[in-house]
Amino acid sequence: MTPADAVTISQLDAEAAQTAIPALTDILADAVEGGASVGFMAGAAMADYERFWQGVATEVAAGRTILFVATLGGRIVGTTQLQLIGKPNQPHRAEIAKMLVHSGARRRGIAERLLGAAEAEAKRRGRDLLVLDTDGASAAHALYSKLGWIEVGTIPRYALMPDGRDCDATFFYKSLLLQEPGPRAVQASDAAWRK
């Protein structure tokens, strides 16, 4: 692999998130143009995508969202978010959102590496239960299953595709406790053994 082919995964702070808005806007536009159901309809203006990323940068600055990007040959080609749930009764949970890889950079393992970085950061922050949803007919569906995410179910007509057709949403979760026995997992197994 040459340096130009090397993919780098980075976590962006608020300032870097602001700087990355043009590249992130291009990735989101590419996803919508490719027919992905990611919250926007066909014909959305670039200003709509920019406003979305401005909001994400604000969430990064507030510490509620961790933003990851994948860089290939010095260019941002992919992104995902780890959204930290702020509810008092859910300090252990986070959501994965907007897993996007530019169509010109797919089939290089970028989504898998982005997801791995998000999972590692979640674990580092004590968030051991992750959830996400995806278009039930998307290629991402197979990726999440391959990477150990558990499919919970599908809600029909959850959203719309960019062209206005119905889009089903499939929900997944992943327990990071199940990967490595932690204090809670050990306590539960000890309690079961004592019965």
Q: Is 90 exceeded by the pLDDT of residue 191?
A: no
Q: Which domain holds residue 145?
A: 3-194
Phi-psi category of residue 63: left, alpha or beta, with phi > 0 → left and psi -120 to 50 → alpha: left
Domain count, the chain: 1
pLDDT at residue 183 is higher than 90? no
User: For the domain that residue 115 is a member of, what is the CATH number?
Assistant: 3.40.630.30
Residue 84: band (very low, low, confident or very high) from pLDDT cuts 50, 70, 90: very high
Residues 6+ apart with CB under 8 A from 170: 133, 134, 135, 136, 141, 151, 152, 153, 154
pLDDT digits (tens, 9 = 90+) for 126-163: 999 999 999 988 889 999 999 999 999 999 999 999 99
Confidence of residue 193 (pLDDT cuts 50, 70, 90): very low
**pTM for this prediction:** 0.88
User: What pLDDT score does 5 carry?
Assistant: 77
pLDDT in tens, 164-178: 999 999 999 999 996
Rounded Cα–Cα distance for residues 175 and 179 (Å): 7
- Chain-wide mean pLDDT for the chain? 91
Residues 6+ positions from 191 with CB-CB distance below 8 Å? none
pLDDT the model gives residue 185: 41
Tell me the three state secondary structure of residue 76.
Answer: strand
Q: Can you give the pLDDT at residue 78? A: 98
Residue 34 reports pLDDT greater than 80: yes
